[in-house]
Amino acid sequence: MTTGLSFADVACVRGGRLLFEGVSFALAPGEAALVSGPNGTGKSSLIRIAAGLLPAAAGHVEGEGARTLLAETAALDPELGVAAALRFWARIDGQAEAVEAALTAVGLADLKQVPVRLLSTGQRRRAALARVVASGAPVWLLDEPANGLDTASVRVLEALIARHRADGGIALVATHLPIALPDAREIAL
């Protein structure tokens, strides 16, 4: 079983409107794709189709390996400390021991006891990214991962994606902000 993610002639309809059709690509271990396009063209919808949260109107999505989604909200308990909130999900993924390293990777180790509700916008985004890192899933689906991040944090994000790919992971990234993804496939909507 090899990690992979492929779209074959995928179309997306929302609210009775065709957003895109004929989207095809295949990502092998270590590869990435960058989904770009103006507001409302369906970048988030494409990511949701990849996550299995939205059915494709036509075509097929296939691939091996667990997928993890970074979307607008991270579903982290606002009352819990960041580490405890992350451990809730990491335990479900069988990755409880991965939380500390993930917090360090996103630069939140010093804030691990701070309740999620007290985090700044960018810190909350980094916590969401830590959830992705700690998941251990080989296929990362990242919807606007740079939103709310300062320049240094975008560099951290880029480094984390690069490390994930070097470890054989896959990244499908929808963004309207520039993110360096060397040799990424371009999916322009």
Ligand X SMILES: Nc1ncnc2c1ncn2[C@@H]1O[C@H](COP(=O)(O)OP(=O)(O)OP(=O)(O)O)[C@@H](O)[C@H]1O
| Between 42 and 169, CB nearer to ligand X | 42
- Enumerate the H helices of 26-169 as residue ranges: 43-51, 82-92, 99-105, 121-135, 151-166
Q: Map the footprint of ligand X across residues 151-180, applying CB under 6 A.
A: 176
- The reply to whether 145 sits near ligand X by the rule CB under 6 A is no
Least separation in angstroms between residue 19's CB and ligand X is 5
| Separation of first and last alpha carbons in the chain | 31
- Selected binder of ligand X within 19, 32, 50, 170 (CB under 6 A): 19
CA 93 to CA 164: how far, in whole Å?
A: 17
- The reply to whether 43 sits near ligand X by the rule CB under 6 A is yes
CA 22 to CA 93: how far, in whole Å?
A: 33
- The reply to whether 185 sits near ligand X by the rule CB under 6 A is no
- Selected binder of ligand X within 11, 13, 36, 44 (CB under 6 A): 44
Span interacting with ligand X, options 13-21, 112-120, 125-133, 149-157, rule CB under 6 A:
13-21
Using CB under 6 A as the binding criterion, the count of chain residues that bind ligand X stands at 12
Helix axes 121-135, 82-92, angle to 10 degrees: 30
Residue 13 class from Cβ within 10 Å (0-12 exposed, 13-18 middle, 19+ buried)? middle
Span interacting with ligand X, options 25-33, 43-51, 75-83, 179-187, rule CB under 6 A:
43-51
Q: Are 137 and 68 in contact (CB under 8 A)?
A: yes
Query: Using CB under 6 A as the criterion, which residues of the chain lie in contact with ligand X when the complex forms?
Result: 14-15, 19, 37, 39-45, 176
